[in-house]
Amino acid sequence: MVIVFKKDATPEEIRAVEDKIRSLGYTPHEIVGIERKIVGAVGDERFKEQLQALETMAGVETTISILKPYKLASREFKREDTVVPVDGIPVGGKRITLIAGPCSVESKEQICATAQLVKDAGADFLRGGAFKPRSSPYSFQGLEEEGLKLLAEAKRQTGLPIVTEVMNPREVELVARYADVLQVGARNVQNFSLLKELGNVHKPILLKRGMMITIKEYLMSAEYVLSAGNKKIILCERGIRTIETMTRNTLDINAIPVLKKESHLPVLVDPSHATGHWDLVAAMSCASIAAGADGLMIEVHPDPANALSDGPQSLKPKKFAALVEQLKPLAALMGKSL
Ligand code: PEP
Ligand code: MN
């Protein structure tokens, strides 16, 4: 339920409504919009009739029932695009965000050299996995805390904020100590214990779409984090499983405008995991920006042939720099800056 206040509602009237929401066993979520003052009441669906009574309270203009299964993530709840600020960098809105770096953190030299090169090319964030969700238990699993320390060193040298994955509720606190943005990978997008835990974190969450989940289910996962209290969510389409085998996944370009229509959250695209081939990354990056994406997450490695993970889909730093140049006029065409 969304409670829309009159333009001249007083802070006391708003507080009284919020207290009432709490007394009914719901949690109030305030939205500071430019157009309207809004409070969302979310909680157990079974008792929603009781919320109707709020319509008669002082200062309330109207109440709107959100029929979609995702509430806080929906456009109905918040009409304006959400911009998630990270270390002073706004993600969403009129800017294209670029996150770049290797699939995995491998060594100090590798991560620091890559960080400097992607920064010089125009990246806003450094990515790199320290905890890696590998399909095989015999594949490189990541450097874990040592990897986080190397990311911190790369940040110290370049100033680039860090995006890195957290796989386990037990490691949230550790990863949050080093990361500026905590990534939830495709395989964990429906790990509801992890999502609930991330609701208590004060840092932004980059929530990747699962390879086998619908857009509706994806937004429900975002709802888990939002309803648990963390409003700083960045979505990321990274390709889904289809009948096609020529590419690692199929980039669901449809998902970009659908997510923008259904939700106010920023939407990034990862063309590296979506295609699995470095030579397809530029085309799908352009397609993503043209479809309205708010940014890209791209794997870049100084020596892809010897990468410990995802070498075949990683761009060399020079190719990444060329891609950024290619994207600039496209971003401008979309009314955005890069
Ligand atoms: C990654 O970004 O390194 C990754 C493992 O991606 P995904 O979870 O989308 O497969
Ligand atoms: Mn990868």
pLDDT tens for the 338 residues of the chain, in order: 889 899 889 999 999 999 999 998 899 988 766 666 888 888 887 777 888 889 899 999 988 888 899 999 999 999 999 999 999 999 999 999 999 999 999 999 999 999 999 999 999 999 999 999 999 999 999 999 999 999 999 999 999 999 999 999 999 999 999 999 999 999 999 999 999 999 999 999 999 999 999 999 999 999 999 999 999 999 999 999 999 999 999 999 999 999 999 999 999 999 999 999 999 999 999 999 999 999 999 999 999 999 999 999 999 999 999 999 999 999 999 999 99
Residue bearing tokens 């096609």: 244
Q: Are residues 144 and 251 in the same domain?
A: yes
Query: What atom in ligand 1 is closest to the CA of residue 239?
Result: 9
Kindly report the CATH number assigned to the domain that includes residue 43.
3.30.70.1140
Q: Give the mutation target among 166, 184, 208 for probing the ligand 1 site: most ligand atoms within 8 A of CB.
A: 208
Q: Whose CA is nearest to atom 10 of ligand 1?
A: 186
Per-residue pLDDT at 53: 82
Q: Verify that 216 and 303 share a domain, yes or no.
A: yes
169-209 pLDDT, tens digit each: 999 999 999 999 999 999 999 999 999 999 999 999 999 99
Distance CA 174, CA 182 (A): 11
Query: Which residues form the pocket of ligand 1, taking CB atoms under 6 Å from any ligand atom?
Result: 103, 129, 133, 185-187, 208, 238, 270, 273
- 130 SS3 class: coil
- The pLDDT value recorded for residue 48 is 78
Shared domain check, 150 and 281:
yes
Residues 162, 43, single domain; the answer is no
Task: Report the atom number in ligand 1 closest to the C-alpha of 129.
Answer: 3
Q: Is residue 324 part of a domain?
A: yes
Burial class (CB in 10 A: 0-12, 13-18, 19+), 144: middle
Same domain, yes or no: 37 and 124: no
Note whether 189 and 159 are same-domain residues: yes
**Residues 263 and 316 reside in one and the same domain:** yes
Give the position of tokens 């507080």.
15
> What pTM, to 2 d.p., does this model score?
0.95
Ligand in nearest proximity to the CA of 128 = 1
pLDDT of residue 33: 65
Q: What residues make up the domain containing 54?
A: 2-64
Q: Which residues are CB-neighbours of 210 under 8 A, at least 6 positions away? A: 186, 187, 189, 190, 217, 218, 221
How many domains in the chain? 2
- Which two three-digit tokens encode residue 143? 């450097």
Ligand 1 atom, smallest distance to 186 CA: 8
pLDDT in tens, 38-68: 888 888 877 778 888 898 999 999 888 888 9
Residues 176 and 296 in one domain: yes
Extract the tokens encoding 311.
């070498």
Say if 338 falls within a structural domain: no
Residue closest via CA to ligand 1's atom 4 equals 185
